[in-house]
Amino acid sequence: MATAISVSSILNTRSPRLTSLPPLSLYIHIPWCVKKCPYCDFNSHEIGNKGNVLPEQEYVSALIRDLEMALPQIWGRPVSSVFLGGGTPSLLSAQAVDKILTHVRMLLSLELSAEITLEANPGTFEAQKFADFRAAGINRLSVGIQSFNPRHLQALGRIHDDGEAHRAVEIALKNFANVNLDLMYALPDQTLEEARNDIEIACASGAPHISAYHLTLEPNTLFYRFPPTLPDDDLSAEMQLMIEQVVSSFGYANYEISAFAKPGYQSRHNLNYWQFGDYLGIGAGAHSKISFQDKIVRQMRYKQPKQYLKKILGKEDALGDPVQSQHEVQAEDRAFEFMMNALRLVSGFQPENFQAHTGLPITVVQQQLDEAEQQGLISWNHHRIMPTVVGRRYLNDLLQIFLPEKREEHINI
């Protein structure tokens, strides 16, 4: 007979334990860019075009030291993917990337088939340089196109024009079989036909992966302080539906809200995030999620590059931990964090993976799942829990059901 007991009593009497650790990825943050885009809220810092020199050698040494210091937390665990993000990682020389990846291979159990991605912006493309990136071990390129329309590129503050965007795609596909193109829609004064033209050009290029993101006004950005005129909600929704239809007609599968891939080209690194896997983040401002049998820890490195470098490479008496903040993910928050990621996936998740990655039984969210199903936001059978089309359209409404403060006090076990 099922007995009703409080969730809090379950969590207070025994700390949820993981029977096995989830897959592990490595994220490497490169915090510099030529120019800060007005919509960008990432940890990126301008070097500009005035002869400022990126402290490449110093930063690479700091990354290696950062990785060495983090080893005890992940010792012996295989690493399935590496992602160099930013900022603009393609500002680094191929020699710097080669040195980073050489030490990654020396220090970590990097899987032979590991996906190794480099983010690149069209304004930094040189044909030989990208051939050298490939030789250094990069096997996937993610290109920040955003738009092929010169007017929209200018409005977004991008440093490249439409000609450079097309040339970047050409160079990327010449050197890499696995290429992602990042696009944005619902841009300032963008029409439906302009959005259609962007996505059709991207699909026609033959790039096997496309990410199409809705432009949002994030706090601490120039666009947030001085908002441009953006398409209304109805037109934005029409653009999203159109994009899904166009990419489908070109043979791409929509496997996550904003991600579309040809067969076999889903982003393994991002899938690990969305499946609530682990990731070690090194570099200025990088975030980590690391699981242990008895706890899940989140960390953030120091954001300011100078402070980060000083912590790792300063005078001996000033050396310290590059981790600025760290906290345990409390048991009552694990369910929400899992759902916040997994419900972005079109295919959803298997109930057993919920317990494997959170240490909690699926019954902890039984009432929330029932509510979401009744509202038509998820479909649920014994093998998989998936967001419906409506659930994906109204993801925020779906996730609110799983907010910790809304969790019911009793479950059946």
Closest CA to 111 of 72, 81, 66: 81
Please report how many Cα atoms fall inside a 13 Å half-sphere around the Cα of residue 145, on the Cβ side. Answer: 34
Tokens of 373: 């199903």
Q: Are 143 and 180 in contact, with CB atoms under 8 Å apart?
A: yes
CATH no. for 1-16+334-413: 1.10.10
Tokens of 299: 């960390």
Q: Are 25 and 32 in contact, with CB atoms under 8 Å apart?
A: no
DSSP 175-205: H-SSEEEEEEES-TT--HHHHHHHHHHHHHT
State residue 210 phi and psi, 5-degree precision. -135, 135
Cα 345 to chain centroid, rounded: 13
In this prediction, residue 101 has a pLDDT band, given cuts at 50, 70 and 90, of very high
pLDDT per residue as tens digits for the range 4-16: 334 554 555 456 8
Spell out the residues 6+ positions from residue 328 whose beta carbon is closer than 8 angstroms to its own.
Answer: 295, 296, 297, 298
The one-character DSSP state at 345 is B
Rounded distance between C-alpha atoms, residue 410 and residue 6, angstroms:
5
pLDDT at site 313: 87
Rounded distance between C-alpha atoms, residue 136 and residue 171, angstroms:
17
**pTM confidence score:** 0.92
Closest CA to 398 of 358, 360, 371: 371
Residue 314 or residue 51, greater confidence: 314
pLDDT at site 73: 96
Rounded distance between C-alpha atoms, residue 8 and residue 39, angstroms:
41
3-state secondary structure of 152: helix
Maximum distance among all alpha carbons in the chain? 74
User: What is the CATH architecture assignment of 24-274?
Assistant: Alpha-Beta Barrel (3.20)
**133 CB neighbour count, 10 Å cutoff:** 26
The stretch 269-292 carries a mean pLDDT of 98
Tokens of 202: 């991207």
Does pLDDT of 51 surpass 80?
no
Spell out the residues 6+ positions from residue 106 whose beta carbon is closer than 8 angstroms to its own.
Answer: none
Evaluate the omega torsion of the peptide bond into residue 87 and state whether it is cis, within 30 degrees of 0.
yes
3-state secondary structure of 149: coil
The stretch 74-82 carries a mean pLDDT of 97
The one-character DSSP state at 383 is S
Cα-based torsion angle of the residue sequence 383, 389, 394, 397 in order, rounded to the nearest 10 degrees: -30
pLDDT at site 355: 94
Spell out the residues 6+ positions from residue 333 whose beta carbon is closer than 8 angstroms to its own.
Answer: 404
pLDDT per residue as tens digits for the range 365-390: 999 999 999 999 999 987 999 999 99
Spell out the residues 6+ positions from residue 349 whose beta carbon is closer than 8 angstroms to its own.
Answer: 275, 338, 342, 343, 384, 385
For 32, 36, 133, 158, 182, the CA distances from 222, given in Å and listed in that order, are 18, 10, 33, 14, 21
Cα 253 to chain centroid, rounded: 19
Rounded distance between C-alpha atoms, residue 357 and residue 339, angstroms:
11
Rounded distance between C-alpha atoms, residue 198 and residue 185, angstroms:
9
Lowest mean pLDDT among 122-126, 181-185, 262-266, 296-300: 122-126
Does pLDDT of 52 surpass 70?
no
Question: Where are the domains positioned within the chain?
Answer: 1-16+334-413, 24-274
Rounded distance between C-alpha atoms, residue 9 and residue 321, angstroms:
36
Find the DSSP H helices in 123-161.
127-136, 150-155
pLDDT at site 194: 98
Instruction: Kindly report the average pLDDT of the chain as a whole number.
Output: 91
The stretch 382-400 carries a mean pLDDT of 94
